[in-house]
Amino acid sequence: MFDQKQLDYTQAPIVELQHSIALHAGIKLLVKREDQNHPFISGNKWWKLKYNLEAAQQQGYKTLLTFGGAYSNHIYATAAAAHELGLKSIGIIRGEETLPLNATLAFAKSKGMQLHYVSREAYRNKYSIEFNQSLTNRFGEFYLIPEGGTNTLAIKGVAEFAQQLQHEAAFDYVCLPVGTGGTIAGLIAGMNEQTQVVGISVLKNSEFLVDEVKNQLKNFSDRVYGNWHIETSYHHGGYAKTNPQLLEFIHTMNQQHQLPLDPVYTAKLMWGVMDMIEKEKFTPGSNVLMLHTGGLQGLHGFR
């Protein structure tokens, strides 16, 4: 049986951000510092992995296999979780091996994860029966966790987190970065209907995410949810793409507000929320909670 104490979950604080843009607009800006819930399995990854790890152990699997890119927070977190639970782990990495390994993949390897590189074309077919069978032939039996950790069990974990969050603070909006859509689906399912869930996509051309999240919610629950939307214009060039303005923004937020952000997810979230406040997309006088989803290892990866 899975014991969350094995992964040393720490209750993370909610802090108020005294930023001039928010103060001028009459918005109370809060940040849930979920990046502090675990040194390695941080942010939303802890909640997305929780019930997947439980299922793997209950079903007797000794090996986890999952997918990700070279800077994947999910690869990083899964390697750490498997190591802590005494499980083997395999990471199917998109693209060719580049040496020396970046900080993300070097960490995963240090935690015992076996890295297996596949072409981008093969990676696009990663969930096909043929590809899955080839992985079984190569590695033996394994518990499969999808890219980004997103599946029904992940949504269950994040929905549980959402319910906990509502006991910690009062807020009208909760904002978060969106990649695969699993975390926002869990928050939508776990929040009361009065709370608006706002996703900031980190992907370019990501309009497809709306249907993706709808499908995930449909698989999770029979309910229809109307308390959410996804903003698609704050990706700064696409997934894992950045520019000098975003990097300067990261530096400023850290220096002036002691808030560390990563360039892949949370910096784009913060940038988007600030722009939305300036464009009066939040009701004046409302409380806006931003979910810090961790992933600060991404900073080291870019360095």
- The kind and range of the H/E element at 299 are helix 297-302
Look at residue 1 in the predicted model and tell me its pLDDT. 46
CATH 3.40.50.1100 domain span(s) along the chain = 4-41+151-302, 44-149
CB neighbour class for 168 (10 Å; exposed up to 12, middle 13-18, buried from 19):
middle
d(CA 101, CA 40): 18
Q: Which residues contact 162 (CB under 8 A, 6 or more apart)?
A: 174, 186, 187, 189, 190, 191
Length of the chain (residues) = 303
């009062």: which residue's tokens?
170
Q: Which CATH architecture does the domain made up of 4-41+151-302 adopt?
A: 3-Layer(aba) Sandwich (3.40)
Kindly give the confidence (pLDDT) of every residue in the chain, 303 residues in length, as a single tens digit, with 9 standing for 90 and above: 445 546 788 999 999 999 999 999 999 999 999 999 999 999 999 999 999 999 999 999 999 999 999 989 999 999 999 999 999 999 999 999 999 999 999 999 999 999 999 999 999 999 999 999 999 999 999 999 999 999 999 999 999 999 999 999 999 999 999 999 999 999 999 998 889 999 999 999 999 999 999 999 999 998 999 999 999 999 999 988 999 999 999 999 999 999 999 999 999 999 999 999 999 999 999 999 999 999 887 776 555
What fold characterizes domain 44-149? Rossmann fold (3.40.50)
Look at residue 38 in the predicted model and tell me its pLDDT. 92
